[in-house]
Chains A and B, each alone.
Chain A
């Protein structure tokens, strides 16, 4: 396992489409022995799809992949493992069996081998497990049940199991997302050790501190393409720039200042340790909440919509305290929210466009609890026209629409009735540019009678729709800017936390 620096994986011109979504576009990527390659990008940038192609979950549509000079095309994760590519997925619990002991987990591949022995001896399993952990110099409690272990130890078990196969490439997907500082430090030490042994490590993370500590090289993906590559010394502002976009659409519109204040947030602390902040959202303005993943954007929105509780602080809507203990209560209080990940959080896949659109407001279309088809259809048809939703009819299943049109249906749903605060969490994920513009246009057209908060990590998208951009970092709002005369550099510095802390306006 010598020759550090030699390429293990060579990817050229890789493409992958899912229906109308072009998830990976013409990607070239090299992974070298004995280096930690940080793969970065916002949600939906194409990282996960690229990784899934690498580890054999999805076949690529076109392009070539070479491992040690040999062209490969994996048809299953098993084939990728056989070729020396091992992955530890983000959700650790998918990679370990809770009910078994640590030793059994370590030896799991041995146990599951079809040609393996029928009867298992405890001592053989323990011996194999000791062998595996010796490779890594670990000292794990072999006899304990997996469920008794902390997150970091589980992670180490999953990694140890992957390493027992002597991998050429180890892919770590967000390994520190649920680890404490001390646990992460233990993991970093292990990764550095592996690097020294010549293993190529692909490290996916949004945490800048991880990247600082570990990465030899960073590749940034955005909208399905690899946008930039950075070598040591890494330019962190440059990385954030590449992730959130360079091209800011200046002058698409000038900022609307907003009239009276609708939402007043005071001394708001999301967690016991995060800094409290104040925030006003005004009628008629579109406010974009931006920040890196893990900055607390969604958590903040969930407090407003009643699916999470804040640690401290008050929220009033039109001067009245908002008491949202559930989405039902939030909607009744005039707060509407379209969640991130429309497939899981918004749409009922068995339902038609019509039925998906009107789901929250059936009461308004009902007489004596019976749905009046005419009223319901009229409301949906209006939204289809206003948002330029492309569908053969409102009765087709929602799944037959493209991602962008599905997202328009989600927005249309919440525009059927007027509200005081409309929250959209990452409305442009998996949405093509045409649909994105339609959504942005409609959002601004309808903004007059309400406050609008859009969560959006991509600054290019953010500046298309925003009157004001507020930045969140470490679960607190750290800055706010009008889009007029926006300084991208100041914004990026605030997002990544490298610049001086701007005072919140």
Chain B
């Protein structure tokens, strides 16, 4: 009973309304230039100024010692970058690193075990802490800041329980009155102290390798793409078929893992389970990751930016130290840089859009 119809064929008339899209970005304005390259230029200027004021600043050994000082911060910052990418946050990275430092010391000095086991215990612990964070946030529905803040305090206390609040050092007296028999192995200490060609510190190499792997993971793999998608629009990502909960837990596990690597390198450098070593790590690494937003105008957490951000903070602190700036000035300058970097990213960028 269908009535065959003369087909008027609705012609797909092209709507002219859509053509103007993106036409405005032909010329790179001065503002765009500043937003894109500002931070890199400041970094360059900073290096030149420090070098003019203190020629020793620019020799290769000092440059690498800057990198070495930066490597632990950078590793933590790289980890937190992943949680920032999913629009989350991990406040527990500092204490995870400290936990890892204490755990490796405990395994070697008190339990008298080898390098491999010490490293393995730390890595597993880091991933497990991240897993707990992820589960608290995803299943427990605790806001990320609060869950990881709670975890931070929990770990700060927990790491001190096995030793009764004391730092771990070779030959220390244990609670039963005997002396600890183990010691840091040479292989473990080499992780923090060995220099390739007597120049490039091993932690720098480890950090760079980790950064490259993470960069590929975040920028080139499909997992990284989905992580960024979750950060942009979690609902849309779930409706596009991604197992969002698992991705979020994985992000916190990566963060915990990187923090524990940072803790291992720190332990290897200081050579004792010092209870205060990790105290400034959280703020420095978060600052590095946030400064990274401003690198190349990314306006989002990104691996390359984080690495540059860590270098930026490290260079600044090293230069100030060489110029004999007082220690308290360093925190002030760090804060100042962070505020300006954030202004670069958010303030200028949004005023440009309106």
**CB–CB A369/B12 < 8 A:** no
Query: Which 3 interchain pairs have the tightest Cβ spacing?
Result: A251-B5, A434-B15, A362-B222
B-chain residues with CB within 8 Å of residue A413 when the two chains form the complex: 240
Residues of chain B within 8 A of A438, CB atoms compared: 12
B6 in the interface (beta carbon within 8 A)? yes
A150 to B223, CA, bound (A): 44
11 inter-chain pairs at a CB distance below 8 angstroms, sorted by A residue, are A249-B10, A252-B5, A351-B228, A359-B226, A360-B241, A396-B21, A437-B10, A437-B13, A441-B10, A484-B1, A485-B2
B239 at the interface (CB under 8 A from A): yes
What is the interface size of chain A, counting residues whose CB is below 8 A from a CB of the partner? 60
For A218, the chain B residues whose CB sits under 8 A away are: none
Determine whether the beta carbon of A390 is less than 8 Å from that of B236.
no
Binds B, one of A1-9, A161-169, A398-406: A398-406
User: Which residues of B are found within 8 Å of A337, using beta-carbon distances?
Assistant: 239
The answer to whether A369 and B223 touch across the interface, beta carbons within 8 angstroms, is yes
- Is B14 at the interface (CB under 8 A from chain A)? yes
A36–chain B nearest beta-carbon distance, Å = 36
- Report the separation of the CA atoms of residues A344 and B235 in the bound assembly, to the nearest whole angstrom: 7
Is the Cβ of A400 less than 8 Å from the Cβ of B22? yes
B116 interfacial contact with A, CB 8 Å? no
Query: Which residues in B have their C-beta under 8 angstroms from that of A253?
Result: 5, 7
Q: Report the bound CA distance from A252 to B225 in whole Å.
A: 41
List residues of chain A with CB within 8 A of the CB of B12: 388, 434, 437-438, 441
User: Are the CB atoms of B1 and A402 closer together than 8 Å?
Assistant: no
Are B228 and A350 in touch, CB under 8 angstroms? yes
Would you call A371 an interface residue if the criterion is a C-beta within 8 Å of the partner chain's C-beta atoms? yes
CA distance A256 to B18 in the complex (A): 33
Give the residues from 1 to 31 in chain B that come closer than 8 angstroms, CB to CB, to chain A.
1-8, 10-15, 17-19, 21-23
A328 touches B (CB below 8 Å): yes
Interface of B is mostly: loop
From known contacts A371-B222, A437-B12, A485-B1, infer whether A402 and B233 are also in contact, taking CB-CB under 8 Å.
Answer: no
Q: How far is the CA of A360 from the CA of B237 in the complex (A)?
A: 8
Residue A99 interfacial (CB < 8 Å): no
Q: How far is the CB of A380 from chain B (nearest CB, A)?
A: 13
Count contacts on B: residues with CB < 8 A to the other chain. Answer: 42
Whether B18 pairs with A405 at a CB distance below 8 angstroms is yes
Contact A251 B233 (CB under 8 A): no
Within 8 Å of chain B (Cβ to Cβ): is A197? no
A346 to B232, CA, bound (A): 11
Whether A359 and B225, one on each chain, are in contact in the complex, defined by CB atoms closer than 8 angstroms, is yes
**A98: CB under 8 A from chain B?**
no
A327 with B241: CB separation less than 8 A: yes
A437 and B6 alpha carbons, distance in the complex (Å):
18
Whether B5 pairs with A250 at a CB distance below 8 angstroms is: yes
Residues of B within 8 Å of A346, CB to CB, are: 236, 239-240
- Closest chain A residue to B232 by CB distance? A348
Determine the chain B residues whose CB is within 8 A of the CB of A330 once the complex forms.
241
Nearest chain B residue, comparing its CB with the CB of A406? B18
Measured CB to CB, the nearest residue on chain A to B11 is: A437
- Check A464 for interface membership: any CB of B closer than 8 A: yes
Kindly supply a per-residue 1/0 record for chain A positions 226-256, scoring 1 wherever the CB is within 8 Å of any chain B CB and 0 otherwise.
Answer: 0000000000000000000000011111110
Task: Please tell me if B229 contacts chain A, counting CB pairs below 8 Å.
Answer: yes
Digitize B223-251: 1 where CB-to-A-CB distance is under 8 Å, 0 elsewhere.
10110110111011111111100000000
